[in-house]
Amino acid sequence: MHEMSYAVRIADIALRAANENPAPAEGFAAGTSAPAEASAASLRILAVRVSCGEMLAIVPALLETAFRECVKGTIAEHAKLVVKTMPVLIRCASCGREIDPHGPDGYVARCPDCGSAALRIEHGREFVVNDIETEII
């Protein structure tokens, strides 16, 4: 269950952000780790919102379960985890055309408009903690 490694990172980021900035925090990119100590007893995390690219194949229910384990006994123990799955979007680097692999184009090796093979994945493999909702009690 690879969701656990993502859950650990989400918990780290959320707890660190809440401790560093008790006001609502936004825009913490994933991928870093730091000590996550829940020191402020009067602070509680209400919700954590994350975006997961479809290509990561994260199952939201499993992520939620893993997250619950990670935040046991912390100020995020009762936090709601909101998982948004970001669908894959490919863009042609030559002409800028968007290619939706779920649409009529499907997964293509070349741009249907200009024929360029310089296609890049714009969305679908990101993993971002978008924001954290906290409450002072």
Q: Which residues bind Zn ion (CB under 5 A)?
A: 92, 94-95, 97, 111, 113-114, 116
43, two tokens: 């602070």
Smallest gap from residue 116 Cβ to Zn ion (A): 5
| Nearer to Zn ion among residue 43 and residue 121 (C-beta) | 121
Q: Report the C-alpha dihedral over residues 4, 130, 97, 116, rounded to 10 degrees.
A: -40
| Nearer to Zn ion among residue 11 and residue 92 (C-beta) | 92
- The 3-state DSSP class for residue 122 equals strand
Smallest gap from residue 114 Cβ to Zn ion (A): 3
Smallest gap from residue 44 Cβ to Zn ion (A): 49
Residue whose tokens read 């656990």: 4
